[in-house]
Amino acid sequence: MQLTHQLVEQIIRKGIEAGAGRGFQVACAVVDGEGRTRGVIRHDESLWVTPEFALGKARLASAFRNNTGAMFARLQKERPLYGTTVASLSGDNDWFLAEGGASIVVKRDGREVCLGAVGVSGCFPATIDQEVADEIVAWLKAEVVK
């Protein structure tokens, strides 16, 4: 699987629709495995800042090859000093340490490779952002990665 522009458009559309289906106007962002922007769109009625949050969540998920919701919860509970360190690097890396990012990790030649990540912002609470991001990655793995 590659993050072609057609696939990025599908991912973003699914994110906007999933947010709207839950009653929220969200932004959905997709980054590649190096955290560089592939695409981002916000719902017509979402706040102007939501795409920035969505991109930051996607970049963090890509950097750590992880789900930002799980990472956020773990850092708050088990490693708050490390969490503070990660948050302090946000300015340099355009990260946003919050729920709503999910990495797209696949197996290639026997090892895990991060193809990119999805970030969603605009729901309340942010656990719903995470649900949407996780739903998109699950769809990708079930329907796209063959």
Angle between helices 126-139 and 68-77 (to 10 degrees): 140
Give this prediction's pTM: 0.91
Q: How many CA atoms lie within 13 A of 83 on its CB side?
A: 15
| β-strand pairing of 27-32 with 101-108 | unpaired
- The CATH T-level fold of domain 5-144 is Beta-Lactamase (3.30.450)
Dihedral sign computed on CA atoms, order 124, 74, 57, 111: negative
Residue 97, both tokens: 């340490």
**Hey, how many other C-beta atoms are within 10 angstroms of the C-beta on 88?**
10
Each residue's pLDDT, cut to its tens digit, for the chain (146 residues) gives 889 999 999 999 999 999 999 999 999 999 999 999 999 999 999 999 999 999 999 999 999 999 998 887 877 777 766 667 777 766 777 888 889 999 999 988 999 999 999 999 999 999 999 999 999 999 999 987 65
CB 65, CB 103: distance < 8 Å: yes
